Amino acid sequence: MGRGRVGGALTAALLAAAVSASAGGAGTAGHAVTLTLSKRPYVPGQVVVRFRENADPLTRKAALSTESAATVKRLVLPGLQLVHVRGSVPDAVASLRGNPAVAYAEPNYLYHADAVPNDPRYGQLWGLARIKAPAAWNVTTGSPSVTVGVVDSGIATDHLDLAANVVPGHDFVDGDNDPRDFNGHGTHVAGTIGARGNNARGLVGVNWQARLMPVRVLDGEGSGSTANVTAGLAYACTHGATVVNASLGGTAYSTAMRDAIAACSKTLFVFAAGNNAVSNDTSPHFPCNYGAPPDNLPNVLCVAATDTADTLASFSNYGRSVDLAAPGVAIPSTWPAYDTLATDGFESLAGWTAYQYSGLAFGRSPLHTGGLFSASDSPGGPYQPTTESWLTRTSSLASLVGRSGCRLFYNLRLDTQLDHDFFQVLGSANGTSGFTGSRWSGSTGGIFIGLSSDMSEFDGQPQFFPALELVSDSDGTVGDGGYVDDLSVRCLRAAGEDYATISGTSMASPHVAGVAALVKAAHPGFTVAQVKAAILGGVDRLGSLRGKVASGGRLDACKAVGACPATAFKPPCVVPNVVGKKLAAARSKIRARHCRLGPVRYVKSARRKQGKVVRESPRAGKRLGADARVRLWLGRGR
């Protein structure tokens, strides 16, 4: 889960706070198709043969008659013919090659279009290669008739690699129809699902073309309320989304959210499993766990993350309540583009003032020189307990007039007592009041990481004043404090293009949502159950995932769309509650839950329980493998 503003009910399931972003470039157009041998190597009964120039027509006819071959047609080169043979193609080729009148002979090989886009960053997308997306693209590259709802922090709707696929959506954070992304998370997710393919720009999503519906429910810090998320899920469903991706979550169970998902039975919801490295079976993560007992919503897929070695990512949640895994480590994708308005490298403290309410003031660290400011309240040493120290800008850093989506970017090295002492990066419109921003706690392990804080509250203001604050409690446990370098204020650039590489189950989930859209494009008549079965039945089952996710496998796009052989998916047995039912009714209910009736025993019981189930094993709600047996105990007379 990504760190964010304190008080967010749900946050984006993003692992890496540090973002590696670079400016995008268009690149040059190349060939969109390459040729490779297909799985079926040649046309049965056909051979391509070329005769030597000195072979006269009678000699050629004699050579073909030896193999009972007949000319189908003459081809473009002198002496080149397509012929039909009655027997074995390899035998005919070998015999013709031995004839002195033949220059060469070969089977009439089959080739297929191996759909590889000309997007210049395509080669960086290891995840698409791992899930065999190029093979799936031979069936479909997506369809504009399929809408995917991206319920997240919004989308950079005018991003040059996304705009052609983006359709109108809604912003539940600000309550308008402008769901632009002030965080970056939703734009990254959208790019994995459907960055425009074969446009000689940037990279490509799982779908080259699909309708991406931005539904903004997370603010610029990546947090959102239950009400907004619930409303966003319902909005996407009721406005035509066949698939919804929501790479977000929390530990609180919401009946409203559960009901909103259940009401959209014709929409497949794909959720991130979370980044806490815990089992969702024992520590449920919502909304992912709505697909697991006791809710068992059939239109939910819960997704864990794998790394480049095809093992569960170190941060990923897991468990039988997680359906499958997909690539989620070091995933490149689209990112909002920013203009830099102003920077401060802290070469000096000109334009800043330091003060404190208690304890000691800020000081410079002797461990680093130039371009570094220490928020420790003594030079190079630990901060003091019960400290509230500030560093504020005395003059405006930039004017934000006419700008939107503004953020503070900076490098931070942090060492504070986790969840007790806090380092805050703040902003204000006047430098004296109305401060808001990000609150950080814990340690970065002695290194600087690149972070940013949402300052969109000050969009359009003529003045902007950044500030830093260190707050410690009185328990006496202290650290080295916070060190900030290279502070800059940046705002969204219209019709821009940028890219970033980040990790998290947030990055795994859109791979699955994208494949779900591919399946729907290839099979428009598929129901939610059929799309889900195609995905789960087509996973690559891996030893590293056995016991980690319910399917035991990692996403495979080729199998899901039917381009590669896949095993039939059998839904898990979810034990129903049949206590109090008669045997026939209990048997029917057990079969409906993909279980089998096991041994039936009779026990003495009260008259009112005779002929009815008095006990079952395993217990109701237990999620087991397909066709698992359920034992029953029926009441009988004493």
**Sequence-ordered strand ranges (E) for 329-370:** 331-335, 338-344, 352-356
Asked if residue 52 lies in contact with residue 70, where contact means CB atoms within 8 angstroms, the answer is no
Low-confidence ranges of the chain (pLDDT < 70): 1-41, 76, 109-117, 356-381, 567-569, 638
pLDDT at 337: 97
pLDDT at 67: 85
Asked if residue 502 lies in contact with residue 305, where contact means CB atoms within 8 angstroms, the answer is no
Asked if residue 257 lies in contact with residue 248, where contact means CB atoms within 8 angstroms, the answer is no
pLDDT at 380: 54
pLDDT at 10: 53
Q: Exposure pattern of 286-311 as b/e (b: 16+ CB <10 Å)?
A: bbbbbbbbebbbebbbbbbbbbeeeb
What sign has the CA pseudo-torsion 9, 10, 16, 17?
A: negative
Tokens representing 353? 């003032």
User: What is the per-residue pLDDT across 581-595, written as a single tens digit (0 to 9) for each?
Assistant: 999 999 999 998 889
- For 46, other C-beta atoms within 10 Å of its C-beta total 18
What structural domains and CATH numbers belong to the chain?
Answer: 10-27+118-336+501-561 (3.40.50.200), 42-114 (3.30.70.80), 341-492 (2.60.120.260), 573-636 (3.30.10.20)
pLDDT at 227: 85
Cis peptide before 332 (omega within 30 of 0): no
Quick check: helix, strand or coil at residue 84?
strand
Cis peptide before 576 (omega within 30 of 0): no
Quick check: helix, strand or coil at residue 545?
helix
User: What is the per-residue pLDDT across 226-284, written as a single tens digit (0 to 9) for each?
Assistant: 888 998 999 999 999 999 999 998 888 888 888 999 999 999 999 999 998 999 999 99
pLDDT at 506: 94
pLDDT at 638: 63
What sign has the CA pseudo-torsion 616, 619, 622, 628?
A: negative
pTM of the model: 0.75
What phi, psi does 329 have (nearest 5°)?
A: -115, 130
